[in-house]
Structure 1
Amino acid sequence: MGSRIPSKPRDQLSSQEKSDYDDIICSFTQIAEHGFGKNGERFLYKDKDGSWLGPYPLLMAAPKTGKLGMQLVYSIGELPLPSDVKETAILACGGHFQAAYELYAHEAVATAAGVLSKEQVAVIKQGHKPEDLNENCSLAFDVAVRLCGAPGPLPQELWDKSIRAFGRNGTLALVHYVGFYAYICIALNAADAPVPE
């Protein structure tokens, strides 16, 4: 089954859609290639006819919001957080929401970068914490799962542990990554964005 918000190649867009597409496609391409490499190197974010996959069609469907979303991605990407901690938090969000495309993409990112093993990713994808995570990744998992899955404030103990482990800026980065990827997971699930075959 395809996405509820399917992407279309540029040549199938109306004049206004082409204008919107051209206005934000540069941002999409820069972020995708900077963060994930060329299409297909780690995972597919465009299909064979050049149509965007994953969250991109949803962002294209509301161009003003899509542009702001891309600016947010740039800003969050500049925040200081170790790669293994970041990918653990992102995958913990995906595991909580069972967002298929997010799990597909970030499994590829985490394993290609060597920051998590395939076995660790498989456990996180099921919503569980691997026993062999390092201390910082274990903490990131706990923070992400608590923020995604329980009402009310983050417990003071988790906040304090995060401040000790990552500092204030790193803790803020972790919170922003969790918040942003929770949004992405919700959007992907709403659109029923499929994993490429």
Structure 2
Amino acid sequence: MRLKLLSPGEMTADQRSTYDESIASKRGSPPPPMMAWLNSPEMARHATRLGAILRYDTSFPAKLSEIAILVTARHWTAHYEWYAHKRLALAGGMEPAIIEAIRQRRSPTFDDPKARIIYDLAKSLHEGHGVAQGLYDEAVSVIGERGIVEIIGLCGYYTMVSMTLNTFEFDLPDGEVSELA
């Protein structure tokens, strides 16, 4: 870890306010990247709020939103992010074979057209830096414009999370080994 993470007793009033807000949220604890973001308390406050919306309040259940998050974690080879969201994806009902295919950078086989379109959008955003018209049109018909906006939000937010975790070299919990190479 490149950055000393502050304990609550070491925080300024602004930092502590953001920290306390995260504990009172649906998460119940501060997300790890927020502990780095506290070096910019106002950014941490807004980023953490955005993360909570994207994690808990999109139009997608975890089984679907975690596809975009795992594609993002894999794209950035974000070890901690992969570790955390693989568990959440499994808990949300994602099939292990889909997770493994994403880990191996292979296209998974999806039975659900929403799952496939989310995967295709996330891959296109990360690898193609945009979305071709045909994919866009299909996405509108399958998940709607709100869904497209939310997938963009998930990919963008979790890109920031992945960059934070990678830059500050967040360690996996004791005894955990990264699955990403």
Q: Which residue of 1 aligns with 2:19?
A: 25
**1:178 and 2:178 are equivalent in the alignment:** no
Task: Note the alpha carbon deviations across 1:108-158, whole angstroms, 9 max, x for none.
Answer: 1111122x123321221233222245322122111111111223x311111
Matched AA of 1:175: I
1:4 aligned partner, one-letter code: R
> Is 2:80–2:171's contact at 8 Å kept on the other side of the alignment?
yes
In structure 2, what is the equivalent of residue 47 of structure 1? none
For normalisation by structure 2, the TM-score amounts to: 0.84
1:161 counterpart = 2:161: no
Name the CA shift for 1:74/1:132 in 2 (closer, same or farther; >3 Å): closer
Counterpart CA distance in 2 for 1:118 and 1:166 is 23
Q: Which runs of 5+ in 2 are unaligned?
A: 175-181
Residues 34-91 of structure 1: per-residue CA shift (max 9 Å, x gap): 25xx67xxxxxxxxxxxx6731221112111101112222443433223222110110
Please give the secondary structure, in 2, of the residue aligned with 1:61.
coil
Corresponding residue for 1:81?
60
The code of the aligned residue for 2:41 comes to P
The alignment's TM-score, normalised by the length of structure 1, stands at 0.78
Aligned pair count reads 173
Q: Distance in 2 between matches of 1:92 and 1:187?
A: 17
Moved over 3 A (4+): 74-77
1: distance between equivalents of 2:77 and 2:24? 27
Q: Paired residue for 1:10, among 8, 11, 14?
A: 8
CA distance in 2, matches of 1:53, 1:168: 28
Match in the other structure for 1:92: 71
Relative to structure 1, the CA distance from residue 134 to residue 112 in structure 2 (aligned partners, 3 Å threshold; closer, same or farther) is same
Identity %: 21
CA RMSD across the alignment? 2.1
Are the counterparts in 1 of residues 34 and 48 from structure 2 also a CA contact under 8 Å?
no
Task: Write the letter of the residue equivalent to 2:5.
Answer: S
CA contact (8 A) 1:93 1:182 kept: yes
* Distance in 2 separating the partners of 1:169 and 1:193: 33
1:111 and 2:90 matched: yes
Q: How does 1:53-68 map to 2 (within 5 A)?
A: 54-68=32-46
Q: State the alpha-carbon separation in 1 of the partners of residues 158 and 68 from structure 2.
A: 9
Provide the secondary structure at the position in 2 that maps to 1:195: coil
Q: Report the CA distance shift for 1:128/1:58 in structure 2 as closer, same or farther (over 3 A).
A: farther
SS across alignment from 2:6: coil
